[in-house]
Amino acid sequence: MRTDLAQDGHREPISSPFLRALIYPRWDHLMPVIIGFLLISSCQQGATNKIDAPENLAAELSGVYYLIRHSEKDRSNPNNEDPELTTTGLSRAKLWQSYFDSIPLSGIYSTGYKRTLQTIIPTAASKSLNPIIYPPHDLVDNDFITRSHSGHWLIVGHSNTVPELTNALMNIDSLKDIPDSLNSRLYRVDYRSNPVKLSILHID
């Protein structure tokens, strides 16, 4: 258990209507914004090709990658494929913001679901970063290398995709799906080390 989290101090009110809408969402108003995000992201990434093999990453990257699963989601309607976060999940989103307060993030990647976006919006707002939307199973490509060859990057995904992406970054296949009840796990991949270093933490 990590106890060295940065304290969440008082912040100025969020002045951007866009970020304010994401933090305090009314999804009937927010969906056009998310759709716009997805369209922009698709245009930006549509011309890229997936790299041939993950081992090529070692020669290209020198950054640090933080991979987390979305926070606790609302399971009250099993037929809802895109649920929002619960109150507990929203609290965890604030905890992630506190954890990343002292880390100079260069950018944030998120899938386009409500639960992943709500998980990282407090962090994105505090860092003045717009999330980069990516397809859940297709992130590690030439565009990714160009964007993230150095710096600190947060990647938010799902119980099956976060280990999959970590495996790709590490050029391994040993990491399995995150247990469905676990939302506190953090994978940290450090390309500044030789060999590349993987740390698995739990932030509660």
Q: What is the pLDDT of residue 111?
A: 97
Q: What is the pLDDT of residue 55?
A: 59
CB 125 within 8 A of CB 19: yes
Cα–Cα distance list, 168 to 2, 155, 172 (Å): 26, 13, 7
Q: What is the pLDDT of residue 16?
A: 46
Q: What is the pLDDT of residue 138?
A: 86
pLDDT tens sequence for the chain (204 residues): 443 333 333 333 334 444 444 444 444 444 444 444 444 444 444 333 444 445 567 678 999 999 999 999 999 999 999 999 999 999 999 999 999 999 999 999 999 999 999 999 999 999 999 999 999 988 988 889 888 999 999 999 999 999 999 999 999 999 999 999 999 999 999 999 889 999 999 999
Residue 86 CB partners (closer than 8 Å, separation 6+): 72, 73, 74
Q: What is the pLDDT of residue 167?
A: 94
Domain boundaries, the chain: 17-202
Query: Residue for token digits 């030439």?
Result: 142
Angle CA 54–107–121, to nearest 5: 120
> Hey, what amino acid is at 20?
R
Which homologous superfamily is 17-202 in?
A: Phosphoglycerate mutase-like (3.40.50.1240)
Q: What is the pLDDT of residue 53?
A: 44
Cα–Cα distance list, 86 to 65, 83, 99, 114, 201 (Å): 26, 9, 20, 11, 23
3-class secondary structure, 109? strand
Cis ω before 136 (30° cut-off from 0): no
Q: Helix 27-45 and helix 114-127: axis angle, to 10°?
A: 80
Q: What is the pLDDT of residue 4?
A: 38
